Amino acid sequence: MIEQEAPTEGRRTGAHIAAVIEDRIIAVVGRLLHRTAGWVPRIDAYTCFGTPRRVRVLGRVLLGPRRIGSGPPRPVQRGFRSFLTLPEPGHRVVVTVGDTVVETVSDRAGYIDVEVDVPPEAPLHPGWQGATLRTATGAEARAGLLVIGDDVRLGVVSDIDDTAMITAVPQLLVAAWNMLWVRAAARRAVRGMPALYGRIAAAHPDAPFVYLSSGAWNTARTLRRFLARHGFPPGPLLLTDFGPTDTGWFRSGRVHKTTSLRRLMATFPRIRWVLIGDDGQADPEIYAAAAKTHPEQVVAIGIRTLTRTERVIATAGAAKDDAPTNRPTRPTSPPRPDVPTVVGRDGDDLAAGLESVPHLLAP
């Protein structure tokens, strides 16, 4: 068994006061709920992905009532149930991928994010595999693991909010309603988006779809159900966590997306990505910057243009660095002459524009 070093966050100094207060509240409330209400550690396993030789395993250790921690999840539930938990920091977790076993520790928010190296003499087979996460108290979860072969040359990175799913993030009141009360079955897909993604998947059966959003990890289960219900290709989610960090009161969605894209391109240097988002927040600028930095790894950019009302809702309450700096709904210029940028009101419009990209929507 390989033991990973404990996250440095647990030993950090000079952290933002909000993060220090949050850590202390979690510690006190966690002990109280464990002793008086019988809350127990459980683990949420998120979809994992990687190469045949190295995979990224994602999950979260949480404290929750026994009725949440045991038994199969309800097929449809309101979003607020996903928040009836408490992070369990510093909890040891054993990760198993094939015959490789790694031990790691959850960070200050309970998250597990570890890269597992597979023996070179026994690489993983491309396609869907599995990983197991087991806590020190015996709770266990099985995660889907997408192994992306070395011969794959095309992939899709997609935003979710207002790109795949009609929503209203980050307007605070509407976002809270969507996350905490609206059932997964009641959420609506943006017209034409499932069909567009289906065409790309049909033309490129091995293409990975990565759903990159500034939404909270607490909504991962609801988002997976939404994507499956509306026929979107399955794929890993890359979400973030609300609340304070070591440097500020809230996490930056722009930084999350930028660093996630950079890491994806470093992990899969041979893949060229189709980047799809919307102009309600900073997607056009983030994707343009990625195309300028990694022009050989971006095949096209697709931007859904929100209506005036959608745009006002989407930008109200956004963090300053997450709001778009361009007010026009259409980019004033492409990120690079050789990276086509297509804009449209929905998936049908984007599909029409992407027809001009060679071999994207047809083999």
Domains assigned to the chain: 2-147 (2.60.40.10), 154-354 (3.40.50.1000)
- Read off the pLDDT of residues 313-355 as tens digits, 9 standing for 90 and up: 666 555 555 555 444 334 434 555 579 999 999 999 999 999 9
Encoded tokens for 112: 């597990």
* Model pLDDT, residue 153: 98
**Residue % of the chain over a pLDDT of 90:** 55
Angle, CA 191 vertex, CA 187 and CA 197 arms, to 5°: 100
Question: Which of the given ranges, 14-23, 78-87, 209-218, has the highest pLDDT on average?
Answer: 209-218
Q: Prior bond to 170 cis, omega within 30?
A: yes
Q: What is the mean pLDDT of residues 175-203?
A: 79
> Cβ neighbours of residue 176 under 8 Å, at least 6 residues apart?
none
Per-residue pLDDT band for 122 (boundaries 50, 70, 90) equals very high
pLDDT at residue 85 is higher than 80: no
Q: What is the mean pLDDT of the chain?
A: 81
Q: What is the mean pLDDT of residues 7-34?
A: 58
Q: Residue 312 and residue 308: Cα distance in Å, rounded?
A: 6
Q: Residue 107 and residue 40: Cα distance in Å, rounded?
A: 17
Higher pLDDT, 213 or 329: 213
Per-residue pLDDT band for 52 (boundaries 50, 70, 90) equals very high
* Model pLDDT, residue 222: 87
Q: Can you give the pTM of this predicted structure? A: 0.83
Nearest in space to 59 (alpha carbons), one of 29, 91, 84, 31: 91
Higher pLDDT, 150 or 1: 150
Q: What is the mean pLDDT of residues 138-164?
A: 96
